[in-house]
Structure 1
Amino acid sequence: MILTAEKEKSLIIEILTKLGLSEEDAGIVAKATLDADLKGFTSHGIGRFPQYIHGIESGNILTDGEIKIEKETEAMALINGNHLFGQVVAYKAMMLAIEKAKKVGIAAVGTHDSNHFGVTGFYSDLAIKNGVIGVVTANTDPAIAPLGAKDPIIGTNPIAIGIPAEDTYIAVDMATSASARGKLLEAQRKGEKIPENVALDSEGNPTTDPTEALKGSILPFGAHKGYALAFMIELMTGPLVNAACGIGVTGTANHSKKCTKGDLFIAIDPSKFVDMDQFKSETEDFVDQVRASGDTFVPGDLEVKNIAKNEKFGLKVDEKLYANLNKICENLEIDFKEYISN
């Protein structure tokens, strides 16, 4: 079963507008969700929608309201997301950071009381499209146990960086854990195993069973290095932005509780540092050096390939996800079969 990119976008907008989102906000969520699926991050795409619907039904994701800027200077802002869709809050926060960076060179916007916002790289991509560098981080429900411990305290805490260039898409979007929690949830839904050396069960033993892993902890990538980076992001997206951290973070995994995590969006305008043409030229020169060094790749190459493939052939929908989406559509009197092709 296949969803084309355009059909997925239209389906998401129809679902969300029927649930009370404005056309504008539904469009933002749809773009962010489709971006995840096209890039191959299906764990953060339309597969998350059953959880989002649960969040709306439980009152933990609100479909109507306004974000509130609680503190602001020329170079920073602190936003209360008022428990709206995370994609909507994050989009507005990143665009505000970009606007400020274009005036003063560098800006940071923090958010709290938001929700799961999909893939982190969607927002650093917004920076690229506006000719600035984007750095985005967030914390999540506890998933990583500190080294030498077995109980999770630290989130999977993603980081994304996007660099504007002349011809090359240069971007990295990664969890600081060996796997994003969403990939475990997706494997659980599909009845698949997870790779070895990714997670531990509740007793601290290695496991390839996603259900047992979700009861236990996910390993940090690169041992102490991933652990240290996840630790630092926890503080930059918790106490710094008036959000929770550690065991106080809830609501990013299943939306059964209010979301208490935080996000940090940073934008840097290269033109305030050096000539923009020079920056882009030297960036492309470095890309050329890397490509000439051997059979290698530049961060962002895989996403570019996945986008081209998925735009051409469409996005696969597994049987469990089909059933979940079909049920959502039935409840909203939407004909899901009109969107799906075999």
Structure 2
Amino acid sequence: AADGAPTTDPQAAIDGIILPMAGHKGYAIAAMVDMMSGVLTGSGFLSAVHSPYKTAEKSNCGHFMMAVNIEAMQPLAEFNARMEEFIAEIKSVPLAQGYEEVFYPGEMEARNDARNRRQGIEFPDDTITDLKRIAGETGLQALLPLD
């Protein structure tokens, strides 16, 4: 049974993920995203998109951006209040065992961005070593301190 917990059992994974999230609406949203980011942009779609972690083949992944004029649909204050209500409902769902919080889309990234702006971005030591080496080999001066 699907209980929201990670699994290493292949059959449990198949049983838990065989249907798109949110049934027919989730399927429709996934299809629209693939149409806009794949078909519309001339990039890969469906099975023609490959893992970005396999360096032997191009991922063929496309991207689609959209801007919406919220005030053309409703006053901004009303939208903001409704978004707060939307987020509160998402965060109020029962938690899966072993989890302390539910995140809404983009929340973790926003938190990481705020932390990085306050504290800077951490790089592994080997990355810093490589950057210093490349700067030395190319004669480029580092724009930021690498120590």
Q: TM-score, normalised by structure 2?
A: 0.52
Structure number with larger C-alpha Rg: 2
Deviation at 1:223, TM superposition (A): 1.9
- In the alignment, what sits opposite 2:113? 307
Encode CA deviations 1:106-133: one digit per residue, 9 max, x unaligned.
xxxxxxxxxxxxxxxxxxxxxxxxxxxx
DSSP-derived class of the 2:67 partner? strand
1:266 maps to which of 46, 60, 66: 66
Q: Is 1:323 paired with 2:129? A: yes
What is the CA–CA distance in structure 2 between the aligned matches of 1:293 and 1:261, rounded to whole Å?
A: 33
Q: Is contact 2:38–2:61 with CA below 8 Å preserved after alignment? A: yes
Q: Is contact 2:34–2:45 with CA below 8 Å preserved after alignment? A: yes
What is the CA–CA distance in structure 1 between the aligned matches of 2:67 and 2:92, rounded to whole Å?
A: 30
Deviation at 1:307, TM superposition (A): 3.2
Q: Within 5 Å, which residues of 2 pair with 1:94-243?
A: 197=8, 223-224=17-18, 225=20, 232=31, 233-243=33-43
DSSP-derived class of the 2:64 partner? strand
Encode CA deviations 1:219-263: one digit per residue, 9 max, x unaligned.
99x62326x689734444222332233565579557777774322
Deviation at 1:315, TM superposition (A): 2.1
| Structure 2: runs of 5+ lacking an equivalent | 1-5, 22-26, 95-99
Identity of counterpart residues, as a percentage? Answer: 17
Q: Of the two structures, which has the highest relative contact order with CA contacts closer than 8 Å and spacing of 6 or more?
A: 1
Q: Is contact 2:36–2:64 with CA below 8 Å preserved after alignment? A: yes
Q: Is 1:282 paired with 2:82? A: yes
Q: 1:249 to 1:330 in 2, by over 3 A?
A: farther
Encode CA deviations 1:27-74: one digit per residue, 9 max, x unaligned.
xxxxxxxxxxxxxxxxxxxxxxxxxxxxxxxxxxxxxxxxxxxxxxxx
What is the CA–CA distance in structure 1 between the aligned matches of 2:135 and 2:7, rounded to whole Å?
A: 37
User: Quick one: which amino acid aligns to residue 223 of structure 1?
Assistant: I
Q: 1:340 to 1:237 in 2, by over 3 A?
A: same
Deviation at 1:318, TM superposition (A): 1.1
What is the CA–CA distance in structure 2 between the aligned matches of 1:267 and 1:318, rounded to whole Å?
A: 36
What is the CA–CA distance in structure 1 between the aligned matches of 2:86 and 2:69, rounded to whole Å?
A: 19
Aligned length: 126
Q: 1:229 to 1:335 in 2, by over 3 A?
A: farther
- In the alignment, what sits opposite 1:333? 139
What is the CA–CA distance in structure 2 between the aligned matches of 1:255 and 1:320, rounded to whole Å?
A: 20
DSSP-derived class of the 1:241 partner? coil
Q: 1:275 to 1:317 in 2, by over 3 A?
A: closer
Q: Is contact 2:132–2:146 with CA below 8 Å preserved after alignment? A: no
Q: Is contact 1:291–1:297 with CA below 8 Å preserved after alignment? A: yes
Q: 1:306 to 1:240 in 2, by over 3 A?
A: closer
What is the CA–CA distance in structure 1 between the aligned matches of 2:54 and 2:136, rounded to whole Å?
A: 22
What is the CA–CA distance in structure 2 between the aligned matches of 1:196 and 1:290, rounded to whole Å?
A: 23
Higher strand share: 1
Encode CA deviations 1:149-184: one digit per residue, 9 max, x unaligned.
xxxxxxxxxxxxxxxxxxxxxxxxxxxxxxxxxxxx
